[in-house]
Structure 1
Amino acid sequence: MSQLKAVLFDLDETLMARGQAVLRLIERMIDDFGPGFGVRDHDEIKRIVQQADGGGYRPKHEMYAELEDRLAWTGAPGWPAFQAYYRRVYPTCAVLEEGTLDVLTYFREKGLKLGLITNGETAVQQKKLDLLGIGQKFDSVVISESAGCKKPDPHIFRLSMSELGVSPNAAWYVGDHPRNDVYGAWCAGLRAVWKSDVHPWDVTLPVIPYGIIRQLTDVIRLYEKRNTAG
């Protein structure tokens, strides 16, 4: 097995606490649009928005259509205006996953290259990175919209490997989604580490994670354990 030369990460729910960011977004929506909502109870509004969001995997125009209906939204801004609002406001709600800076610093001090691969719109994802203050910490950042492909397509992982100048078998990829992150990285030849606190495992996948962590900082202990074991 090749010596580890790079550690790559997913963004949402791996380095960024997306659930917390969505809650911040909901509070902003209540402030900005709440008087037009037919639903008044804030907890119910949160449940509706979280369900419509679908963990970030649902097309945003579908999310908006559901919100307009289920919130009984009088004076809703229309899809183009809401899309612009989402692109402007949501990135400002970004919250770092606990331990993110410690993890990135640790691996950098070990002399490893750092990469990030994320699905999403380039402007939104880049703004998140800038506001979180971590955009400049990576040797390679690959965002699906700009790359023209998205996880779990192995090609997006290979693009990052090419930018880093590292072979796939000398890299780890850390992410929360069993198919997009673990399976996609495995198909590209990387060693896939699954952050297991968000999504249940997909038993249909023909892959076993190289490592399983619960919290992001657990990846340091995994590295030290594997490094000690050679």
Structure 2
Amino acid sequence: MSETLGELQERRARGPRSMLMLFDLDDTLVHRRAVFSSWAEEFASQYPEQSGLAAWLTAEDQDGLRPREELWSRVKTRLSLDLPVERLVSDWQEVFVARYAVDPDTLDALRRARSQRWRLGVVTNGDAAVQAAKIAAAGLAPLVDGICISGAEGVAKPHREIFDLAALRCGADLVGGWMIGDSPLADIQGAHNAGLNSVWIADEGIAWPPEHRPPTRSAATVSAAVDLILSLPTQEPVRRS
């Protein structure tokens, strides 16, 4: 059973405070786009008469932002499937989530941070059961001190409250802490809202969207982001520009 906010605050007050790193899940700790692309190619191979099906699925998925029922309603129509949408979604989620894995470089980075006494947490938006299953499949739970899933907590990134809860659950302070993620709004603006430093994870050649406040730093991978933070002689203040 999850601790109440009051219990978390009391536990933190009793112990020493530690430095905090928070991580997004999808397309940060785990490469969701690659997982979906791999699944789409395999699924499309079952329908060789459907030219371009894998690319169509990837576009329709909208990086996971399209509601699952809406996505599978479209798939059902295109492929003339007999099963109800609810069953299609359920069957897909079971197969898809099982593909989640953390690459070795990211695992090593998490271990390096923990060896230097950083507290680590996962903060992710999404359905509670689905995101928890992803975390379990990826084997992340033993490597972090706290997990916050918006669907379970009733609050989502970029709202400050979910970061407050994550810090309490990890037994650390937000002050001087870091948020590492790929979303300019949910992760980086969320970090600003919570008073955290931030590292934006972005593929090479991707420009920062000018309508959003910039991150403290940027990096191509979680491993690079962790090493950057660990290399700093002192904790940088949050950029206010």
TM-score normalized by the length of structure 1: 0.86
Q: Secondary structure at the match of 1:130?
A: helix
- Seen in structure 2, the aligned counterparts of structure 1 residues 229 and 151 have a Cα distance that, compared at 3 Å, is closer
Letter aligned with residue 82 of structure 1: L
Letter aligned with residue 208 of structure 1: P
Cα deviation code 1:80-103 (max 9, x no counterpart): 111211221110121324511111
Aligned position for 1:137: 143
Aligned position for 1:212: 218
**Contact 1:126 1:135 (C-alpha < 8 Å) held by counterparts:** no
2:208 aligned with 1:201, yes or no? yes
1:85-96, aligned counterparts within 5 Å?
A: 85-96=91-102
Aligned-residue Cα RMSD (Å) equals 2.3
Which deviates the most, 172-181 or 58-67? 58-67
- Give every structure 1 segment of 4 or more consecutive aligned residues whose post-TM-superposition deviation is greater than 3 Å: none
**Contact 1:4 1:171 (C-alpha < 8 Å) held by counterparts:** no
Shift in Å at residue 192 of structure 1? 1.2
**Contact 1:52 1:67 (C-alpha < 8 Å) held by counterparts:** no
Which of 157, 160, 176 is equivalent to 1:151?
157
1:143-182, aligned counterparts within 5 Å?
A: 143-182=149-188
Equivalenced residue count is: 219
1:1-230, aligned counterparts within 5 Å?
A: 5-30=19-44, 34-35=46-47, 39=50, 41=51, 44-69=52-77, 72-97=78-103, 99-197=105-203, 200-205=207-212, 207-227=213-233
Shift in Å at residue 5 of structure 1? 0.4
Query: Identity percentage over the alignment?
Result: 26
**Contact 1:48 1:67 (C-alpha < 8 Å) held by counterparts:** no
- Unpaired stretches in structure 1, ≥5 consecutive residues: none
* Cα distance in structure 2, aligned partners of 1:171 and 1:156: 14
* Cα distance in structure 1, aligned partners of 2:170 and 2:99: 30
Q: Secondary structure at the match of 2:178?
A: strand
**Contact 2:109 2:227 (C-alpha < 8 Å) held by counterparts:** no
* Cα distance in structure 2, aligned partners of 1:94 and 1:76: 28
Cα deviation code 1:14-43 (max 9, x no counterpart): 110112210232245346xx35x861x3xx
Cα deviation code 1:110-161 (max 9, x no counterpart): 0111101011122221222222222221110001110111111221111101
**Contact 2:76 2:85 (C-alpha < 8 Å) held by counterparts:** no
- Unpaired stretches in structure 2, ≥5 consecutive residues: 1-16, 237-241
Letter aligned with residue 115 of structure 2: E
**Contact 1:172 1:193 (C-alpha < 8 Å) held by counterparts:** yes
* Cα distance in structure 2, aligned partners of 1:119 and 1:214: 22
Letter aligned with residue 73 of structure 2: A
